[in-house]
Amino acid sequence: MTRLAKVCQPIAIDFIWHGMSSRPPYSENPPGSQSHWLTQFTDQVLDLMDHMGIEKAVIEGESLGGWIAYDMAINHPDRTSKVILNTTWGMHLDPAHVHQGDSDLDALRQVSVNALLNPTTETLRKRLEWLMPLGGVTDELIELRRALWTIPETREALLVYYDYLFRPNINQFYWQEEDICKIACPTLVLWTDKNPIHGEDAADRLEAIIPGAKKHIMRGCAHWPQWERPEEHDEVVTKFLTGQL
């Protein structure tokens, strides 16, 4: 945050249901609706921008945040100046070009629910190691996750979240290539060589279908590159923000 603050005003959002932010009822609207449970995250971003008087912003979305980044770039282009797609989730890419690791998703569900129901040092470490299997999980990270996931209201909200996330119809909420290719703002595809679920072929495909997209692969990283190699992440993002990439 300190490095990025040299070129922008970085804002890290505590998403609804995930920490100390509010925990509104989940929308039951079906896929294809203009408003449903995933767009509630987008509404949070827009509400914050309105509250802070921000007309347009660069949106970096990692994992779940990637779904919101797609939504902002596709459906709210007037509020999105640039977008950074950081090891994103929530898109369906042509299987002729991209392999999806469904076993990685199953593992995510298991370690997440186990850590929520029984938040021990061991279960929380396993959950964080799903993000960073190559190393980087510290005692401080475990204690921070424990502090959040033992808030009763947050724990209950997240159990519902993971139920929604792994429902049989979840792929009906995914962004399709015909939507993604409409992204018109400057785009950085920021990926890693060890990302679960979607490998480098996903980054290649996104670069190919988004007009003018730039791509950077962070080596020796998995699903939390901004923590695994923060200096490299910040350098690449800074170059993208300042037009040097």
pTM: 0.96
pLDDT, tens only, 180-208: 999 999 999 999 999 999 999 999 999 99
97-130 pLDDT, tens digit per residue, is: 999 887 788 899 999 999 999 999 999 999 999 9
Q: Tell me: the pLDDT tens digits for 12-64?
A: 999 999 999 999 999 999 998 999 999 999 999 999 999 999 999 999 999 99
Task: Find tokens 């910040």 and name the residue.
Answer: 234
- What's the sign of the alpha-carbon dihedral 38, 182, 238, 52? negative
Q: Are 108 and 130 in contact (CB under 8 A)?
A: yes
Domain 4-100+171-241 is classified in which CATH homologous superfamily? Answer: Alpha/Beta hydrolase fold, catalytic domain (3.40.50.1820)
Q: What are phi and psi of 95, to 5 degrees?
A: -65, -15
For the record, the structure tokens of 216 come out as 């950077």
Q: Across all residues in the chain, what is the average pLDDT?
A: 96
